[in-house]
Structure 1
Amino acid sequence: MGAPAFQTSWGTIYCGDNVAVLRRHIPDRSVNLIYADPPFNSGHAYYATGRRCEGPRFRDRWRWDDAAYRRALAESPASLGRALEALRLILGESSTLAYCAALAPCLGELRRVLKASGSLYLHCDARMSHCLRLMLDALFGRERCRNEIVWAYRTGGAGKRHFARKHDAILFYTASDDYTFHPQRERVRYRKRFFGVQRDAHGYYADVLLRDVWEIPAVINVSAERTGYPTQKPLALLERIVAASSNAGDVVLDPYCGSGTTLVAAQKLGRRWIGIDASEEAVKVARARLSQAEAQRE
């Protein structure tokens, strides 16, 4: 069922199936902010290659299984089940529908545990955002979709038969119209001075309200924060989300916490956290990072 694997005064990490953990340990409407970064339906197998962890970690490959699909329908809210049945008409009995069905029970539980003033950020492959957005529309209501955020980066390969794929989608939904949100700003550089622009040692700039296109460097081999855990997201990305959609002392949940970046960002900004991951190795990496972050605070 997923027992607590690591606990501090800041929060708890559970190792196990996230649906089982959510049902057993997380009460209704108890979480202020959720960041979920599930598998992407990439078709790849991922391996850890860093100093902190090494070896195979997870396979992001999905096959159609009618029995698994039926279980997902039974374990999901009725509105989400209807969305899956609609997707079935379009996608057929495919690996993509198998992927959507696999995520459905967890998404239903995330909706249950989110406070009325809370927000969900679902990080996904840009090629899957249309399916997942339909599912979240069914859960939250179409009007509760606040943004489809584009996280743009420069890493990865280039395609010969298509434009280079250099962004992820982050779907931002709220549980109600009365939600926590603190507008963020980004620094934009200019070559020339004009009204409203300031100057520092690097030239002219203005701090403007943040757009829904975020250019934050991805974690690469030479990044200081790199753990080697596959699909690790940059701390700056999670700090931005946590700062925008929560307050000090709030509870931040990551049901696919991996190497613990969300939890580190939450702790750094004075939020409590809950992490869940099926991998014992991921929990070890997250635990080490959180312990190091706490030591640095002291």
Structure 2
Amino acid sequence: MQLFQEDAVKWLATLADASVDLLITDPPYESLEKHRKIGTTTRLKISKSSSNPWFQIFPNHRFEALLTEIYRVLKNNSHFYLFCDQETMFIVKPIAEKVGFKFWKPIVWDKVNIGMGYHYRNRYEFILFFEKGKRKLNDLAVPDVLECKRVMRGYPTEKPLHLLEILISQSSSIGDVVVDPFFGSGSTLLSAQKLSRIPIGCDISSEAHLCIINRYQSIPSQRK
């Protein structure tokens, strides 16, 4: 597993053209800051129980630079998944299409447990499914709603390992390079390692690096 601490766009710019088999990521998108300010994302609040901001927000105006680099580093006939909310989806989709991606659909992650919110409480998150070239999914029987309980007491925005394992299994093969330029809690990279892929990730946050190192050391199977 290779880890880097740098701005995501600047780091992606250092990777070679067509060097990545699969990219999965969850940027700290701009609307998270809005949810934090109005109190609907309590785990992101700065409070007695959460004394730091965890990560820097990635502003919407930088998505074109990010998606351009992602398209460049991905091999032809590959997939790209991006976690986001409904607000960010409408920003990302046209930009991704502009730089060359084909948008297939938003996959719905059903978190099972109800969350915060005022206008129907939150229970799902979108995973935008993009394609560069043409690649068949490994299992055509997998639905576009993935039910997987949210992580309740981990790094803020932490994704369940099983959820990432589904995406990685669907869109890559053993020995493929799987990249996450905003690795956060490290779930994408740990899942890729478990499935015998080559995980490479970047995150500018020191908290993220401490989190993934602690998680990696606590799972013996990940160290093989």
- Same fold (TM > 0.5): yes
User: How far apart are residue 103 of structure 1 and its match?
Assistant: 2.3
User: How far apart are residue 36 of structure 1 and its match?
Assistant: 1.5
Q: Which structure ranks higher in relative contact order (CA pairs < 8 Å, sequence separation ≥ 6)?
A: 2
The equivalences for 1:54-93 within 5 A come to 55-60=52-57
Task: Decide whether aligned partners of structure 1 residues 274 and 59 sit closer, same or farther in structure 2, where only a CA change above 3 A counts.
Answer: closer
User: How far apart are residue 167 of structure 1 and its match?
Assistant: 1.5
Q: Which runs of 4+ in 1 moved over 4 A?
A: 294-298
User: How far apart are residue 232 of structure 1 and its match?
Assistant: 0.7
TM-score by length of 1: 0.65
Structure 1 unaligned blocks of 5 or more: 1-10, 63-98, 185-208, 222-227
In structure 2, the residue matched to 1:274 is 200
1:128 lines up with 2:68 in the alignment: no
Paired residue secondary structure (2:13): helix
- Larger-gyration structure (1/2): 1
Q: Which amino acid aligns with 1:291?
A: Q
Task: Decide whether aligned partners of structure 1 residues 264 and 210 sit closer, same or farther in structure 2, where only a CA change above 3 A counts.
Answer: same
C-alpha contact 2:63 2:95 (8 A) present in aligned 1: no
Task: Decide whether aligned partners of structure 1 residues 111 and 48 sit closer, same or farther in structure 2, where only a CA change above 3 A counts.
Answer: farther
The equivalences for 1:1-298 within 5 A come to 11-24=1-14, 26-40=15-29, 41-42=31-32, 43=34, 44=36, 46=44, 55-60=52-57, 99-141=59-101, 144-153=102-111, 154-159=113-118, 162-177=119-134, 179-183=135-139, 209-221=141-153, 228-295=154-221, 298=224
RMSD between aligned alpha carbons?
2.3
C-alpha contact 2:46 2:53 (8 A) present in aligned 1: yes
C-alpha contact 2:5 2:204 (8 A) present in aligned 1: yes
The percentage of counterpart residues that share the same residue type is 33
Aligned length: 212
User: How far apart are residue 140 of structure 1 and its match?
Assistant: 2.3
TM-score by length of 2: 0.86
C-alpha contact 1:47 1:57 (8 A) present in aligned 2: no
